[in-house]
Amino acid sequence: MLMNLFKFKGGVKPPTNKTQSVGLPIAQAPLPSRLIVPLHQSIGGTPRPVVQAGDTVLKGQLIGEADGWISAAVHAPTSGTVVAVAMHVQPHPSGLDALCVVIEPDGKDQWIAREPLDYKTLKPEEVRERLQQAGVVGLGGAVFPTHGKLTPAKTVPMDELVINGAECEPFITCDDLLMRERAEEVVRGIGIFRDLLQPKKVLIGIEDNKPEAAAAMRAAIAALNESFLVIQVPTLYPAGGAKQLIRVLTGKEVPASKRSTDLGVQCFNVATAYTAWRAIAHGEPVVSRIVTLSGNVDQPRNYEVLIGTPMGELLKLAQPHPDTDGIVMGGPMMGFLVPNAEVPVVKATNCLIAHCDRLFPPKAPEMPCIRCGSCATVCPHELQPFEMYWFSRAKNFGKTQEYHIFDCIECGCCSFVCPSRIPLVQYFRFAKSEIWAREREKNAADGAKARFEFKQLRDEREKAEKAEKLAKAAAAQAAKKAAEAAAAAAADADEAAAPADVAPSAPVDAEKAAKMATIQAAIERAKAQREAAQPKNTEALSAQQQRDIAEIEARRTVLEPTTPEVVVPAGDNSQKTE
Amino acid sequence: MMFAPAPFLLKDVSVNQVMTQVCLALIPGIAAYAWLVGPAILAQLVIASLAALLAEALMLRIQGKPQAMFLADGSAIVTAWLIALTFPPLAPWWLVVTGTFFAIVVAKHLYGGLGQNPFNPAMIAFAVCIVAFPALMSQWPGIGLQAGLIEQINVILGFAPRLDALSGATPLDALKTALKLGEGQVDVAHLLANQDIFGTFAGRGWEWVAAGYLLGGLWLWQRKIISWHVPLAFIGALTLISGGLWLYQPTQFASPLFHLFSGGAMLGAFFIATDPVSGCTTPRGKLIFGAGAGLLAYIIRVFGGYPDGVAFAILLMNLCAPVIDLLTQPPIFGMKDKA
Ligand code: SF4
Ligand code: SF4
């Protein structure tokens, strides 16, 4: 099979540490004592809980309903009783809590009625809906709801569907084992994606250190008579990053500012294809996934694990050594230490690594950057990490953006090679979160300002309206009086002259008087405001100073005839808007 | 930032290892130097190293920085060695010490320490000393100097009188002076063939020292401590301009080979212009930096007032490095088609 491979720049070759966990087949992890199922397990809206404490649930029963289009449903991983819907600490670097459904298994592991479907008889929307209802999300770690990626763009033809079986992070072997053992179902799942997206080619990328997986996939493709291409890509971290794999297989580069569909490519993980197939063909929502247990343990192995299983309990299966001092979720390049052993396995959990200092020696103290450029050489996104580091450190976040910090995929290659031991990625995360925080603050401030201004405008208008009503009443009163006066007339010609002039134009004058009253009210208000806003530092002044101020004030009053005019148009405007 | 962040795996590299490899790469050149030119260089290396460590320790103490960590990084030693290798081998000890102190205290620490110096400290030392002590800085041992190590050390330490043999010049200087005095009447080929100071194609002995630096430099490149850009551009530019003028008037201009293997050309191309801190970091920037340094070195050598222009050429390019870097930012992943 001849196929031109492209290269991505940079990349590193950390020791792969994969052989430890591929020796044994995937095992079923036993039912844990409790399952803590977070409702928010995908990018997008947080599903709404549809169960309460005390409810009994069956395996696969809906417990969290998708909230909006970009969101995916969450299901009970086994049958049992809901003991709480409560906040629980999450496997996330932030260590924050999130709403979880806590289930006590009844041990029967009893399924809901499963309804197998032939997706070919369904409309594409129905398939997507079905996947959303089954909670199918990207299991490569990004957990983007799968159905959201399965709509072909109308403008750009879909050239390639890329299936990610590269699995480039050290230690992780769950996709490798999945492909070896369940290749047929993976391939069938890919078939669903292919039928929905109608790409010209389907390319399955597998790192060349997994020949068994590649062979199994090829055999399955042949058996199912598909035309997918299995391509072995060079083992180089991060070849399994979606953008890097797309680059290697298609030559296309997807920058941060674009989606891959804009370039006619879409990429899914092999495990996602597998769960999609299970969801459609077996009616099984995503309630479990394959997790690699490795690191400082006696028995590294892959397990099929129920979502919600507490990590500490799960890791015991692999018999961690006594000096284990933490659990890393994910690989050693991009993973993170989980806050504690109680956090649950989620859909994004591909690997748990027992951490110890022997395996991952504590980092040497950070030295100054010597601009050796190693970080730039290995950066797969061809950034200049040392420049971004410099500006992150200096908190010059504008500059970090000029150096494209948001194109950084946080792969960690730069930190890996830095001779000065600078935790570059950490600086970039810090800079990004600062930029986001500022953005949010600014949006919040803008919102508050807009609200404040709107409120002021409304107050102003209400006051003006009130003043006008009063003025109208007063004018009517005046007109009445004027009319009476005119009727009584002529006693004193000199004195009567003025009212007599007024009388014929009474209705017009009422209007004018109303306006005048408005103006008067506005002037009063302005004056009151001015007085209220008077600085308080003018209280203890010398006689001379007070005289000066008085003089200035006098001059200002003379020079300030415009005040009422400023306010009147506002009153006029408010009338117009009615 | 609550926990030790990813990546948990790190490559086994450190600043110290980088610097150690630079020092190792200098050894072939140093060996040739000690063998062919005189063992005094070994004493100078020691003097400069001690001075550098002392200056470094002092500056770290004053600034309250962790001394052990920074003293062990090896950067001061690299600076010291470059100073020793660019100063005349029989220069009095205090000259080397002065130069080294200036390099470490002023050119390095007053600009912020490791990684912050805009100029190459060793070249600053050279420039300062050649301006302040021009006579001492141009006294190179004459050819056929038959003094042993002890005698040479005595000269350096001032225990023995400065020998007549010290009044010599570098081959570059000799050629330049001869051509100037000859006023167009003498030709290069004749000079090279009939003067003792010249060897097969450059200065006697020095050509092998330069070859040693070349060897070490290639090793550094092979080890990926340096990239090919700077040395290639430096050597390329120097070859082009010297070759062009040589073809144009072979009687008045020495061949590229002579220029490449004389003075600080090889040392500069592989060890000094490649200093990442004071040089350029983008690939295109490195090419410009190297080419600029090579070109300027030639111009100063042949038309300027100093016998060897490498130090000034590199300092001048140091000055331009930030701007060159800014203007040569490579396009990032996914943004190449946009011009
Ligand atoms: S690898 Fe480290 S020391 Fe080298 S340039 Fe990058 S940040 Fe600086
Ligand atoms: S973490 Fe970011 S800057 Fe560092 S190598 Fe990866 S993409 Fe480049």
- pLDDT for A120 equals 87
Output the pLDDT for position A568: 37
How much is the average pLDDT of A146-154? Answer: 87
Which residues of chain A from 328 to 357 reach within 8 Å of chain B, CB to CB? 328, 330, 332-337, 353, 355
Quote the pLDDT of residue A560.
46
Asked if residues B137 and B33 have their Cβ atoms less than 8 Å apart, the reply is no
> Nearest CA to B4 among A426, A553, A175?
A426
Least CB–CB distance from A419: residue in B17, B277, B333: B17
DSSP string over B159-182: SSPPPGGGGB--HHHHHHHHHHHH
H or E stretch including A160?
Answer: strand A160-164
Q: Which residues of A touch B277 (CB under 8 A)?
A: 370-371
C-alpha A404/C-alpha B301 separation (Å) is 42
Residue B281 has its nearest CB partner, among A334, A364, A376, at A376
- Please name the residues in contact with A137: beta carbons below 8 A apart, sequence gap of 6 or more: A41, A42, A43, A72, A143, A144, A145, A146, A272, A286, A347
Task: Establish whether residue A408 lines the binding site of ligand 2, counting it when its CB lies within 6 angstroms of any ligand atom.
Answer: yes
pLDDT > 70 fraction of chain A, expressed in percent and rounded: 84
CA A282 to chain B, closest CA, distance in angstroms equals 38
Sheet containing A97-105: order of strands: A35-38, A97-105, A80-89, A56-57
Q: How far does residue A543's CA lie from ligand 1's centre (Å)?
A: 68
Query: Rounded to the nearest 5°, which phi and psi values hold at A174?
Result: -65, -40
* pLDDT of res. B155: 81
Q: Name which residue leads in pLDDT, B263 or B318.
A: B318
User: Does the Cβ of A385 fall within 6 Å of ligand 1?
Assistant: yes
Q: Pinpoint the alpha helices (H) of B223-281.
A: 229-248, 256-260, 265-267
pLDDT band (50, 70, 90) for residue B16: very high
Chain A residues with CB under 8 Å of B329 CB are 384, 403
Give A362's DSSP letter: P
Predicted confidence at residue A509, as pLDDT, reads 63
Q: Which residue of B has its CA nearest to A370?
A: B115
* Tokens (6 digits) for A480: 């009445």
Distance from CA of B171 to the nearest CA of A (A): 34
Structure ipTM: 0.88
- Evaluated on CA atoms B212, B215, B218, B220, the torsion sign reads negative
Q: How is B90-152 classified by DSSP, letter by letter? A: T--HHHHHHHHHIIIIIIIGGGTSTTT-SS-HHHHHHHHHHHH-HHHHT-BPPTT----HHHH
What is the structure's pLDDT at A487?
67
Is A417–B114 a contact, with Cβ atoms under 8 angstroms apart?
A: no
Q: Which two tokens stand for residue A326?
A: 């933490």
Longest Cα–Cα distance in chain B: 77
Question: Nearest C-alpha of chain B: how many angstroms from A52?
Answer: 34
Tell me what pLDDT residue A512 has: 67
Output the average pLDDT for chain B.
87
Question: Does residue A471 line the site of ligand 2, with CB under 6 A?
Answer: no
Lookup: tokens for A298 = 């006696």
What residue's CA is closest to ligand 2, atom 6?
A411
Chain B residues within an 8 Å CB radius of A418: 13
| Global pTM value | 0.80
Interface contact A259, partner B, CB < 8 A: no
Compute how many other C-beta atoms are within 10 angstroms of the C-beta atom of residue B334.
21
More confident residue, A270 or A477: A270
- Using pLDDT thresholds of 50, 70 and 90, give the confidence band for residue A169: very high
Separation of alpha carbons B270 and B273, rounded Å: 7
- Residues A96-122 have pLDDT tens digits of 889 999 999 999 999 999 988 888 888
Is A268 touching ligand 1 by the criterion CB < 6 Å?
no
pLDDT in tens, A468-492: 888 888 888 887 777 777 666 655 5
Query: B213 to chain A nearest CA, in Å?
Result: 20
Tell me, what's the pLDDT at A418?
Answer: 95
**Of A256, A364, A368, Cβ closest to residue B116:** A368
Q: Please determine, for residue A403, whether its predicted confidence score (pLDDT) is greater than 50.
A: yes
**Residues in contact with B312: Cβ distance below 8 Å, sequence separation at least 6, in sequence order:** B123, B127, B296, B297, B300, B304, B306
| Residues of A (52-91) whose Cβ lies below 8 Å from B | none
- CA angle at A400 for the pair A398 and A401, rounded to the nearest 5°: 65
The pLDDT score that the predictor gives to residue A566 is 38
Task: Write the residue in A333, A376, A382 that is nearest to B6 by C-beta.
Answer: A333
Tell whether ligand 1 has an atom less than 6 A from the beta carbon of residue A419: yes
User: Distance (Å, rounded) from C-alpha B143 to C-alpha A93?
Assistant: 68
How far, in Å, are A304, A322, B146 from residue A107 at the CA level?
A: 17, 30, 95
> What tens digit of pLDDT does each residue of B178-227 get?
777 766 667 777 777 667 677 767 677 788 999 999 999 999 999 999 99
Could you tell me if A285 and A60 are in contact, meaning their C-beta atoms sit under 8 angstroms apart?
yes
Q: Rounded to an integer, what distance in angstroms lies between the CA atom of residue B42 and that of residue B53?
A: 17
